Chains A and B, each alone.
Chain A
Amino acid sequence: MSRRAWMVVFGLVLWTAPAQSANNGSDQTQLGMRLFNQSCRVCHTKPQLSSPQYAPALSMNTLGGKADVMHETIANGTPRMPGFKYHFKPTEIDAIVAYIKTIPAPTDAPRPAKAGSSRDAD
């Protein structure tokens, strides 16, 4: 095989390796987005554009951006939020965390509804 052919093969390997990794991550975040839409967004997004939001908007910076804290909060809940450990498998909670970690931090985060605690991610 000529040197040029080897360079093409080497280039293809370099090009496909990160693409494969990104695809795996995408599968997890896709699952996380689906589960988020099914169970989380009812409180963590606005039901209507003009209405107040019950729970804080979530982003990669929520709970200090710490994945383990996000996982624990989703699993065990807070005084205002049910724990999902009887509903989601740990891998599904990981997928939700992975999805939240893809959400950019809002520049002007909507405030949670006035009643309730001031915790970061109830």
Chain B
Amino acid sequence: MRHARALVLASVSAAALLIAAPVFADALLSGTVKSSDGKAMGGVTVSAKPDGGTITTTVYTDEAGKYYFPALPAGHYRVWAQAVSYKTAKGAADLSANAKQDFSLSPMADAEATFKQLPGNSVLDALPQRTPEEGRMKRMVRTVCTGCHTASFPLQHRFDEAGWSAVIELMKNANVYGTFVGGDRKPSGILDYHQKELAAYLAAARGPG
């Protein structure tokens, strides 16, 4: 009889613990992205990152400008929306329960800032090719540079001709890992031969002007 009473007591205690335990249900985050003139924006990336976390989750808006995150663990999140040629809109959401976070995106006024948002293929496309010589230099950038890194990495910068020549001087002596190997091997022949011409082309395209 004593054993039975102890068993019942233990069962009740265990049940009470289970009931009292906090429930960490995943919460849903959703919202709408519109431009500053009120039109729905589809294809906008919306990202969420928890405070103190390292993982960013990103989704796209649908044609109606609505986005829906998959269930995310509870917590406080930084949330932001990005689209090319628009300023990044930032917000925050507390996902202790389902939450809504709407965004309004304003057009970017600074053309240079817009350029820096572009993906590498668009940056490459933006290089001038008004003459056969410019077309040749543009092909050289695509052939020689983008084999190791996207075109948007070097072309985010603006340098004068001497500056681009210094960059090419390093690049013609770097291996595919980005390690300087000058002195251990011959420099890249194609870059060495075209260094001056390429530096002038890049300074005209991405220089002081």
B166's partner among A77, A86, A113, A114 (CB-CB below 8 A) is A77
List 14 interface pairs A-B (beta carbons < 8 Å), by A numbering: A38-B156, A43-B170, A48-B177, A48-B179, A53-B180, A54-B170, A79-B166, A80-B166, A81-B166, A82-B157, A82-B162, A82-B163, A82-B164, A83-B160
Contact of A52 with B by CB under 8 A: yes
Chain A positions within 8 Å of B170 at CB level = 43, 54, 80
Report the interface size class on chain B.
20 to 34
One digit per residue, 1 when the CB lies within 8 angstroms of any chain B CB and 0 when it does not, for chain A 10-49 equals 0000000000000000000000000000110011000110
Q: Which residues on B sit within 8 Å (CB–CB) of A84?
A: 157, 159
- Measured as residues with beta carbon below 8 angstroms from the partner, the interface class of chain A is 20 to 34
B66 interface contact, C-beta 8 A: no
Q: Do residues B179 and A47 form an inter-chain contact, with CB atoms below 8 A?
A: yes
Query: Which residues of chain B from 121 to 163 have a CB within 8 Å of any chain A CB?
Result: 156-160, 162-163
Binding site for A on B (CB under 8 A): 156-160, 162-164, 166-167, 169-170, 173, 177-180, 182-183, 207-208
Docked-complex contact A82 and B159, CB < 8 angstroms: yes
Cα–Cα, bound, A113→B180 (Å)? 7
Give the distance in Å from the alpha carbon of A57 to the alpha carbon of B106 in the complex.
Answer: 40
Contact between chains at A51 and B163 (CB < 8 Å): no
Instruction: Mark A81-120 against chain B: 1 for CB-CB distance below 8 A, else 0.
Output: 1111011000000000000000000000000011110000
B159 A87 Cβ-Cβ under 8 A: yes
Q: What distance in Å separates the Cβ of B145 from its nearest Cβ neighbour in chain A?
A: 13
- Complex Cα gap A47–B183 (Å): 18
- Which residues of chain A have C-beta atoms less than 8 A from B178's C-beta? 42, 47
Chain B residue nearest to A122 (CB atoms) is: B166
Which among B159, B167, B183 is the interface contact of A115 at CB below 8 angstroms? B183
Q: A47-B179, A54-B170, A87-B159 are in contact. List 5 more A-B contacts (CB 8 A).
A: A79-B166, A82-B164, A83-B163, A114-B182, A115-B182
Which residues of A lie under 8 Å from residue B160 when comparing CB positions?
82-83, 86
Contact B208 A77 (CB under 8 A): no
Chain B nearest CB, measured from A92 CB (Å) = 12
B169, B179, B183, B208 pick with most chain A CB within 10 angstroms: B179
> In the complex, which residues of chain A have a beta carbon less than 8 angstroms from the beta carbon of B179?
47-48, 51-52
Q: How far is the CA of A48 from the CA of B174 in the complex (A)?
A: 13
- For residue A50, which residue of chain B has the nearest CB? B179
B167 to chain A, nearest CB (A): 6
